[in-house]
Amino acid sequence: MKTNGMRPLVATARPKEAGAALLTILLLVAVMAIAAAAMAGRVGLASHLTASSNGAARARQALMAAEALATTRVAADGARLLARGTAAQDYRMADGTHLTLRLADGGNCFNLNALVADPMVSPNLQRPIAIAQFVELAAAAGVARPRAQALAFTAADWIDGDGIAAAGGAAEAAGKSGETPPNHALTSADALADLPMLDMGDWARLRPQLCALPTHDMPSINPNHLTVDDAPLLHMLLAGGDGVSADAAVRALLTGARRYGRVEDFWAAAQAAGLHARAGAAGQIRLGTRYYRLDASASVPGDNVPTRWQSLIDAGDGQSRPRPIGRSIGIFVGTQRVLPTGSDGGDAWVKR
């Protein structure tokens, strides 16, 4: 068959147009890959957050149960638990959560709120005896005495209800965080760490011996629940006579399985060791326990970091039942947050 000499028309793309189309397609593929990766990352993050939230919720439920159990045990035989040294328990729950509970005497510490008298009785009145005892405690814990004195006066000024700097204090100074002083009773001893002159070394030495109880009462110590590491708590109450090593004598009172059946027995042992009560300290030894501290941790399967919990339980005065009055959750060293009367300590009162 013959043609008229004309070739059939065939759609052909120019090289430049073909390259531009290929580049457009590659860019679209790249954008879609990035979007898919972002979506996958978000889904993975959401799954991780959901699992973490579920784990935290399970740990919190377990620790709430632990607090209820500890409160029940305090009501039943708290004092005997501490006396027998059986206040530590491990539990394995049905869902695999590992729960560890330890009950301790929550009043064997220096109550920072004692530095100031009860404002209902003597508004803004600092206590010289409490300040002097704080100095002795800090010095026994390894804080240089001049720093201990400055810290004691400043802490008292920090807590009292006015904004006027007393002798040796600094009530109007802002803390390390830039916040103004509380000028009221503390709910946690950790608030003291905000004082400008307190360095981390001194804080580490002092913190195990400090607390902030919901009262302005002077520290009250039960020697039957002390260890040698708690010696500074007795140093603040006892002084050695001439030629007596107060450190060795105090440690002798705390070594072994020594237990005192009466307060008079403790004072007799202290006197035999060459020690005597400091001014105003004769009434600060007790054998009963009003405040219990619960240290608990919950390890949920699949969660690498255990959730830690601490509660302060008030055993009551004989007319009221034991109840939690302070709580903190997270990583802590002996802190409490005071709960409002009649509250179960909802999220607003929990420190994570």
pLDDT in tens, 195-212: 877 888 999 999 999 999
At position 345, the amino acid (one-letter code) is G
Give the single-character DSSP code of 207: G
b/e per residue 179-207 (b: at least 16 CB within 10 A)? eebebebbbbbbbbbbbeebeeebbeebb
Sign of the C-alpha dihedral computed for residues 176, 182, 183 and 188 taken in this order = negative
Task: Name beta bridge partners: 100.
Answer: 90, 297
Identify the bridge partners of residue 221 per DSSP, sorted by sequence position.
285
Residue 211: what pLDDT? 92
Q: Which two tokens stand for residue 167?
A: 């002798």
- The lowest-confidence range among 103-117, 152-166, 177-191 is 177-191
Buried b (16+ CB within 10 A) or exposed e, 238-257: bbbeeeeebeebbebbbeee
Asked if residue 181 lies in contact with residue 192, where contact means CB atoms within 8 angstroms, the answer is: no
Q: How confident is the model at residue 231 (pLDDT cuts 50, 70, 90)?
A: very high
Its pTM stands at 0.74
Q: How far is CA 44 from CA 34, 36, 162, in A?
A: 15, 12, 53
Percentage of residues of the chain with pLDDT beyond 70? 75
Q: What is the pLDDT of residue 168?
A: 57
pLDDT at 319: 80
Rounded to 5°, the CA angle 337-339-341 comes to 160
In this prediction, residue 74 carries a pLDDT of: 87
Q: What are the backbone dihedrals phi and psi of residue 105, each rounded to the nearest 5 degrees, phi first?
A: -75, 110
Higher local confidence (pLDDT), 15 or 93: 93
Asked if 348 contacts 336 with a C-beta cutoff of 8 angstroms, the reply is: no
Q: What is the pLDDT of residues 273-305, one digit of tens each?
A: 999 999 889 999 999 899 999 888 888 887 777
Tokens linked to 282: 């004769």
Write out the two tokens for 33.
């890959």
**What integer is the mean pLDDT of 20-28?**
74
Question: What separation, in Å, do the N-terminal and C-terminal C-alpha atoms of the chain show?
Answer: 92
State the helix-helix crossing angle for 128-140 and 145-159, rounded to 10 degrees. 140
Find all residues with CB under 8 Å of 163, minimum gap 6, and list them.
171, 172, 181, 183
Greater confidence (151 vs 79) lies with 151
Whether the predicted pLDDT of 73 surpasses 60: yes
Tell me what the mean pLDDT of segment 247-264 comes to.
Answer: 87
**Domains along the sequence of the chain with CATH:** 62-107+289-349 (3.30.1300.30)
Q: How far apart are CA 202 and CA 143, in angstroms?
A: 6
Confidence of residue 69 (pLDDT cuts 50, 70, 90): confident
Distance separating alpha carbons of residues 78 and 160, to the nearest angstrom: 34
pLDDT classification of 341: cutoffs 50, 70, 90: very low
Mean pLDDT of the chain: 78
